[in-house]
Amino acid sequence: MPRQLSDFLLKGGRLIDPASGRDGLFDVRVRDGVVDAIGADLPPDGPAVIDVKDQIVTPGLIDVHLHLMKGLGAFGVDPDVFGVGSGVTTVVDAGSAGHSLLNVFRNYVTDNAKTRVLNYINLSTLGGVTGPGYSILADPRLIDEDKIEKAVEANRDIIVGIKIMATGGALGAQGLKPLERARKLGDSLKLPLLVHIGESWTKDTAPVHVGDVLKYLRAGDIVTHMFTVHPGGLLDGNGKLWPQVRDAKESGVLMDVGHGLHNLNFDIARRVLDQGLQPDGVSTDGHRGNRAGPVYDLPTTMAKLMALGFSLNQVIEMATVNAARLLGRMNELGTLRIGLPAEISVLRIEDREWNAVDSQKGMIPAKQALVPVYAIRQGAIFEPLIIERP
């Protein structure tokens, strides 16, 4: 059970808040669940003191890609598992629900979660009901713009974009037509598209060329699974970035890691990074099928990026201010600001050697691990769920 504590002082931790430029020993005072003061060596002044010496304090971490409709198929997981149970205060469901299930999702999942839950609405009416290996966009009747619009307008507070599976398996005989419809719908509703690339589920289907997908994307749209090894990814047969990928990045298209069961490959990551393409966001693509590995949680995924050469500050930036930017929620998420509700993550960095494992069981040596200590939200302090991490 979480500790209910709306007034407290986080004392002695290293605050890393890339949005504000803070990186140093700063205390954080919270009153009535709101950030009241941030400063060096603040006096206790009444609130309970929580000692976070030698720990990392950050704005509440944001995991921008998961599958959270618990009980749905093989993948839906309780949001509090990857959320406050993993040191994360905001989680985002990537298209479990189309328009037909969005109210069910809201009533059953969002309203019962301790974690903040946001949504990408699926372009397909079926959403995640059938699982990722089915042609959920192959029939033009499976996209209903009018009903999607009504669902979005009734749920603007939780909707952050439109999810589309840009794979041959999902698109089927419709080819690129669903992407064209998604583009028009995104423009009309002023919502970004979140686009899955990589033919990770259907092996007997011709992949969609990523260059053809990127023609439909604009600044603020997001490509997820940027390090996928599967056909339809960012690299050509010679391991070089397709030229359309560079063009898209320069135009403002954003790139997300989206680890998942299949789509983080260290060899691909190194090739992509060596050619200068950096991720804008880090996410787990978490679900029931990868909680026990290879994904585990967002801090572990962040530590894998550190093993690939990113700094602690860089991965925290990806999981805070960059994530808020991806979601269009920079006014309310991604930083610690006096007067805002206190959404805070506390992490422990461990200097130890371990093997980071990717989705294809490839390994690279890691020298630091990130372990969740607390997630703080809505006047409650959550300790992480017990899980065996690498």
Mean pLDDT of 28-52: 93
pLDDT at 333 over 90: yes
pLDDT at 44 over 90: no
Q: Are residues 86 and 183 in the same domain?
A: yes
Q: Could you say which DSSP state residue 77 is in?
A: -
pLDDT tens for each residue of 342-353 = 999 999 999 999
Q: Are residues 22 and 116 in the same domain?
A: no
Higher-confidence residue: 390 or 326? 326
> Distance (Å, rounded) from C-alpha 307 to C-alpha 11?
29
pLDDT tens for each residue of 236-285 = 999 999 999 999 999 999 999 999 999 999 999 999 999 999 999 999 99
Does residue 165 sit within a domain? yes
pLDDT at 86 over 80: yes
Does residue 333 sit within a domain? no
CA 257 from centroid of its chain's CA atoms: 8
Does residue 390 sit within a domain? no
Does residue 387 sit within a domain? no
Residue 349: Cβ-neighbour burial (10 angstroms; 0-12, 13-18, 19+): middle
Closest by alpha carbon to 362, among 266, 297, 270? 266
Closest by alpha carbon to 346, among 384, 301, 305? 384
Residue 371's CATH number? 2.30.40.10
pLDDT at 380 over 70: yes
Does residue 15 sit within a domain? yes
Does residue 237 sit within a domain? yes
pLDDT at 117 over 70: yes
pLDDT score at 190: 98
pLDDT score at 6: 85
pLDDT score at 1: 67
Give, in order, the Cα–Cα distances in Å from 331 to each of 88, 196, 328: 18, 27, 8
Q: Are residues 165 and 276 in the same domain?
A: yes
Mean residue pLDDT of the chain comes to: 95
Closest by alpha carbon to 373, among 62, 39, 54? 54
Q: Are residues 346 and 293 in the same domain?
A: no
Number of domains into which the chain is organized? 2
Q: Are residues 198 and 220 in the same domain?
A: yes
Does residue 388 sit within a domain? no
Does residue 65 sit within a domain? yes
> Distance (Å, rounded) from C-alpha 111 to C-alpha 148?
21
Q: Are residues 9 and 79 in the same domain?
A: no
Domain that holds residue 355: 3-58+338-382
Q: Are residues 206 and 174 in the same domain?
A: yes
pLDDT score at 281: 97
Which of 327, 353, 373 lies at the terminal end of a domain, its last residue? 327
Q: Are residues 251 and 302 in the same domain?
A: yes
Residue 141's CATH number? 3.20.20.140
pLDDT at 361 over 70: yes
Tell the residue number behind the tokens 């680890």, with chain if given.
259
Tell me what percent of the residues of the chain surpass a pLDDT of 90: 90
pLDDT tens for each residue of 179-220 = 999 999 999 999 999 999 999 777 778 889 999 999 999 999
Q: pTM score, two decimals? A: 0.97
3-state helix, strand, coil in the chain (%, to 5): 25, 25, 50
pLDDT at 359 over 70: yes
Which of 327, 346, 374 lies at the terminal end of a domain, its last residue? 327
Q: Are residues 45 and 123 in the same domain?
A: no
Angle at 321 between CA 320 and CA 327, to 5 degrees: 90
pLDDT tens for each residue of 306-318 = 999 999 999 999 9
pLDDT score at 72: 78
Q: Are residues 220 and 343 in the same domain?
A: no
Q: Are residues 362 and 284 in the same domain?
A: no
